[in-house]
Homo-oligomer: A and B are copies of this chain.
């Protein structure tokens, strides 16, 4: 595979940016998952997109498939078919990362076929959207609020950039650059242009990727425009509705907070509306803040972050409890059995947290990124890489299982592209500093202090908390190495070339910061104590009181019926009981947590009875949440009852 050295976009160089996909090779915990996506899921996604009819829609040489998926209710003309370009975009992106992992000429040929179809579809004016070119011709740019037109472009841009990195082939990136120029000619400041932006944020962060990949400032400028214009008055969606003869009030979701367009972004301080839209927008805001050194976005980003993580985040890193709006409701509304917590939302939180780290190492962002990655996101993909969760309850009565596909198939390629590119989330590069945000066996070639530095991690993480890092700068170099100290860690023993480090005095924002002249072969060891935590929820989350969630390292655990029998709410953890780790072969060797507790049984056969339940000793076995529903079907429970200590 080629190793492009791409120009960097303008902007302050002290900010941290993620490495490109080719810079990191992942082994350890994530290695087999990446391999599975490369070998299985990347093909599966293309198979299912094509089976669904997507290639028929985009290829102008094929018969027009027409409307295959019924319009959704509400007065707006909406069908999941209008997102099909985005599904291809994310599938191309996944395939691109897969090609980094393992050359696969057949996969590359399949992607090239799709790209060729897009090339034939693209209008002479640069316009490219299969829904509006083939299913609803004549309607383009009439409904940015509902119809995902710029969102589709965003995902194709992300796919194009990844495919360019993976193969050196510019065809799709050139197609998308021409389309972006068409978009930029229509939307922006100036009398000739309209002040529009997408109802589903996505293109903002995609344009930053395109700007970084091409070094073209105009793509970053358009990203900033879309961020800045959002929510301003007079409201674009009102005007747009009137122009197409609709009443702006006659809107299914009633208010523009559904897509975070209810007020200008710098005035926003509460995470509202559709969860994925929210985190995509905030990702774009953070990117723009990083690239333009725009400090005015920071107060909003920090307020939004606090509102999400202090009042609205599931312990799994999922968010957005309601199926109704696929998003937020009210503070502390975090029901378990009905949790929507869309896989895409946890994936998007990884994106957002990673971009908040662009503003500098800060454990609170990396901890949340890790929580969402290992739990609420990773659960979206079966261990064999073929099936997908869309919504992610924290308790199931036994009826919740992964889908082979979904009529709104946004989640499958989203979790697949995240897993396949997970190495890029592990590090941050700045001019004079490197950051290690996540620990995982593997190696990376990073850029700092004007040279390349090879960073090797030897670790069984997250099976245990021992990490040995070896740094090999091309030659001796002065820079700061930031090493995250997770909040879940107990004591930390750290050494530099065998000498103990005084971790507390070196810790800034939850990262060990080691500033020195680094020599090839320098070695840092970290040994994080990894206790089994019994997390308790704020009492305002009503359903979890008297219960604990088990967490060890980054992994949140759950009970499954296949290990514990039915009626999981009959089980009681004993206060302070010891846990032992037992590898589960069927779950790829993941560690189960096993402890001795009790099981309640009804003293009476009645549905309700004043008799106290009987209790007997019971062994309780928890498995990582990401791994559930990979064995026999049955109940699942994250928040486990605990007998109160007196």
A residues within 8 Å of B by Cβ? Answer: 73, 309-311, 313, 315, 330, 333, 335, 337-338, 395, 397, 399, 533-543, 545-546, 549, 566-570, 572, 600-602, 606-613, 635, 637, 641, 643-646
Interface pairs (26), CB distance under 8 Å: A73-B73, A330-B397, A333-B397, A335-B338, A337-B543, A395-B542, A533-B610, A534-B610, A535-B608, A535-B610, A536-B602, A536-B608, A536-B610, A536-B612, A536-B613, A538-B607, A538-B608, A539-B567, A539-B602, A542-B569, A542-B637, A545-B600, A546-B641, A549-B608, A572-B644, A643-B644
CA distance A333 to B396 in the complex (A): 11
Q: Is the Cβ of B545 less than 8 Å from the Cβ of A570?
A: yes
Q: Is the Cβ of B607 less than 8 Å from the Cβ of A311?
A: yes
Number of copies: 2
Q: Is the Cβ of A608 less than 8 Å from the Cβ of B537?
A: yes
Q: Is the Cβ of B570 less than 8 Å from the Cβ of A539?
A: yes
Looking at the assembled complex, report how far the CB atom of A150 sits from the nearest CB atom of chain B, in whole angstroms.
30
In this complex, which of A313, A333, A570 has the most chain B Cβ atoms within 10 angstroms of its Cβ? A570
In this complex, which of A333, A535, A539 has the most chain B Cβ atoms within 10 angstroms of its Cβ? A539
Q: Is the Cβ of A545 less than 8 Å from the Cβ of B641?
A: yes
Contacts of A311 in B (CB 8 A): 607
Q: Is the Cβ of A567 less than 8 Å from the Cβ of B542?
A: yes
Name the residue of chain B whose CB is nearest to the CB of A539.
B570
Contacts of A567 in B (CB 8 A): 539-540, 542
Q: Is the Cβ of B606 less than 8 Å from the Cβ of A538?
A: yes
Looking at the assembled complex, report how far the CB atom of A295 sits from the nearest CB atom of chain B, in whole angstroms.
27
Q: A335-B337, A338-B338 are in contact. Are A542 and B397 (CB under 8 A)?
A: yes
A interface, by DSSP: helix, strand, loop or mixed?
Answer: loop
Q: Is the Cβ of B542 less than 8 Å from the Cβ of A568?
A: yes
Contacts of A533 in B (CB 8 A): 610
CA distance A568 to B646 in the complex (A): 21
Name the residue of chain B whose CB is nearest to the CB of A541.
B607
Across the interface, A608 reaches (CB within 8 A) one of B315, B330, B540, namely B315
Q: Is the Cβ of B607 less than 8 Å from the Cβ of A309?
A: yes
Contacts of A538 in B (CB 8 A): 602, 606-608
In this complex, which of A315, A546, A613 has the most chain B Cβ atoms within 10 angstroms of its Cβ? A546
Name the residue of chain B whose CB is nearest to the CB of A611.
B536
Name the residue of chain B whose CB is nearest to the CB of A547.
B546
CA distance A569 to B335 in the complex (A): 13
Q: Is the Cβ of A310 less than 8 Å from the Cβ of B545?
A: no
Contacts of A601 in B (CB 8 A): 539
Contacts of A602 in B (CB 8 A): 536, 538-539
Given contacts A538-B602, A543-B543, 6 further A-B contacts (CB under 8 A): A311-B607, A337-B543, A536-B602, A536-B612, A545-B600, A643-B644
Contacts of A549 in B (CB 8 A): 608
CA distance A645 to B635 in the complex (A): 27
Q: Is the Cβ of B600 less than 8 Å from the Cβ of A535?
A: no
Name the residue of chain B whose CB is nearest to the CB of A399.
B330
In this complex, which of A338, A540, A611, A646 has the most chain B Cβ atoms within 10 angstroms of its Cβ? A540
CA distance A646 to B574 in the complex (A): 12
Q: Is the Cβ of B313 less than 8 Å from the Cβ of A607?
A: yes
Contacts of A568 in B (CB 8 A): 542
CA distance A482 to B240 in the complex (A): 74
Looking at the assembled complex, report how far the CB atom of A124 sits from the nearest CB atom of chain B, in whole angstroms.
42
CA distance A638 to B397 in the complex (A): 21
